[in-house]
Amino acid sequence: MEFSSKLIEKAVNEISQLPGIGKRSALRLVLHLLKQPKEQTGFLAQALVNMREDIKYCTNCHNISDSTICEICANKNRNHQIVCVVEDIRDVMAIENTGQFRGVYHVLGGKISPIDGVGPSQLRIATLVEKVKSGSINEVIFALSSTMEGDTTNFYIYKQIADAAIVISTIARGIAVGDELEYADEVTLGRSILQRVPFEKSFKNN
């Protein structure tokens, strides 16, 4: 792509480094910004810089936060003895949206993935093991996605905390609510039969 303006070229190159945005889409975004008032671009740039510069991570659970202890960890009404292990802030948001979990989180910041060059040392695993060893936790719930990487990460952590006197659980796998049985894959359907639950439990919350 040849541009008639170096400024456009530079902006397009920077935008197209973002995942899922190619040069054409980047040019479309740039032309959109040019049609909007100058302030909009200013606000966008400022929000990005502020976000990147001032973002903090909760020292307890490593979730993204505006303060050194996030709102969830600072909440005394939550059960700090139950820790849900998740990959990133999106998973925290998704679980919070269900309104079913009153414990706290531990955000790993990724999954073990040799292909992407992510090893255990790049994840926040050590602090989780410490928490468990300190004896302040009753239960660890693994809530990583059930992929190869997720399972590997679960197992890696499990091996380090298996001898602690705590409950180690994982979120239930099964047929999604509203899904048709016939379209489910065999592994999921198989697990949902093996891990069947008492019927009375299935329509009660908690």
Q: Site for a copy of itself (CB under 8 A): which residue of 59, 75, 96, 155?
A: 96
Distance CA 128, CA 142 (A): 12
Could you tell me the smallest distance in angstroms from the CB atom of residue 53 to a copy of itself?
A: 7
75 binds a copy of itself (CB under 8 A): no
Pull the structure tokens for residue 202.
């299935």
Residue from the set 32, 102, 173, 196 that interacts with a copy of itself by CB under 8 A = 32
Stretch that binds a copy of itself, among 14-22, 158-166, 173-181, 198-206 (CB under 8 A): 14-22
Phi, psi of 22 (to 5 degrees): -90, -175
Select from 98, 66, 88, 119 the least CA-distant residue to 172: 98
**Applying CB under 8 A, which part among 6-14, 128-136, 156-164, 182-190 lies near a copy of itself?**
6-14
Nearer Cβ to a copy of itself (44/167):
44
Q: Does 60 bind a copy of itself (CB under 8 A)?
A: no
Per the CB < 8 A criterion, the answer to whether 114 and 126 are in contact is: no
Residues in 34-53 at the binding interface with a copy of itself, rule: CB under 8 A: 34, 38, 40-53
Q: What is the DSSP letter of 36?
A: S
Residue selected from 20, 117, 178, 198 as contacting a copy of itself according to rule CB under 8 A: 20
Structure tokens, 111: 């999954």
Query: If binding is defined by CB under 8 A, does position 64 make contact with a copy of itself?
Result: yes
Would you put residue 65 in left (φ > 0), alpha (ψ -120 to 50) or beta? beta
3-state secondary structure of 105: strand
Judge contact between 153 and 106, C-beta under 8 A: no
> Which residues here bind a copy of itself, judged by CB under 8 A?
1-8, 10-11, 13-15, 17-21, 25, 27-34, 38, 40-56, 63-66, 70-72, 88-90, 92-93, 96-97
